[in-house]
Structure 1
Amino acid sequence: MSELCERFGVVPAGAEALAVAGVARGVREAGVWPLNGLRHPMEGDTCGWYLWAGEEFSWDADFFQPVHVEHLRLWRPEVSQYLALPPGWRFLIAPGYEDVWYDEGLLRV
């Protein structure tokens, strides 16, 4: 069991390397903080994760781009442990800061 999932008392639901996540462009840029992630239920080849960097979130149709989880882990390895959290979980991290919480609203379709 992942240490992070154990800490929050949840069963890990890892994202496979070739699964697709929705990733905003700023995530690939090193040094852009905070990193935000939320996980909807998995569907098809998607893992349910959506990640963005910085304070701004956008509802624009092209804000999130499809990215394989293996690439995301290479670009920002600090998110790897959080990707084991199951659907319904969110995180916000920055140097010296971590916030992880359950958001039941993410499970509603």
Structure 2
Amino acid sequence: MKVVQEQKQECQKYGATPIFPIFNQMIVISKGVYEGLAVEAVRYPSPEHMSGWWLTTDLYDDNVESLMTVHFHHLAFMRPEIIKYFALPFGYRFYISDKEQDIWFDENALK
């Protein structure tokens, strides 16, 4: 329940209606996400089995074939500190590091 409440609060900060990911949906990640590096994320409109979230780190080499598709629940256990952002709707982006956090809406992510 705490996670859901945190997700709702994050959405409220930005006047966004939450779209909660489901634990068995998939998320696309690059190397370094599981290892705790700073994450840049974007949520694209996606098929139902996907959450829409794509997360990359500085280790991402711009080769989409190097990306991994993982279940949301695996990421929830590996990176619980970023889960509160995952109810932000399609078109939202965030950047999270040890030193900063930035969340914004990007109209281009919807195209």
Aligned position for 1:50 = 54
Q: How does 1:60-99 map to 2 (within 5 A)?
A: 60-99=63-102
Deviation at 1:96, TM superposition (A): 3.6
Instruction: Give the number of equivalent residue pairs.
Output: 105
Aligned position for 2:9 = 3
- Distance in 1 between residues matched to 2:61 and 2:91, nearest whole Å: 20
- Distance in 2 between residues matched to 1:61 and 1:102, nearest whole Å: 23
Identity of aligned residues (%): 30
SS in 2 for 1:28: coil
* Greater fraction of residues in strand: 1
SS in 1 for 2:21: coil
- Partner of residue 44 from structure 2, selected from 40, 43, 48: 40
Deviation at 1:94, TM superposition (A): 1.2
Q: Does structure 1 residue 19 correspond to structure 2 residue 25?
A: yes
TM-score (norm 1): 0.88
Deviation at 1:28, TM superposition (A): 0.7
8 Å CA contact retained: 1:50, 1:64: no
TM-score (norm 2): 0.87
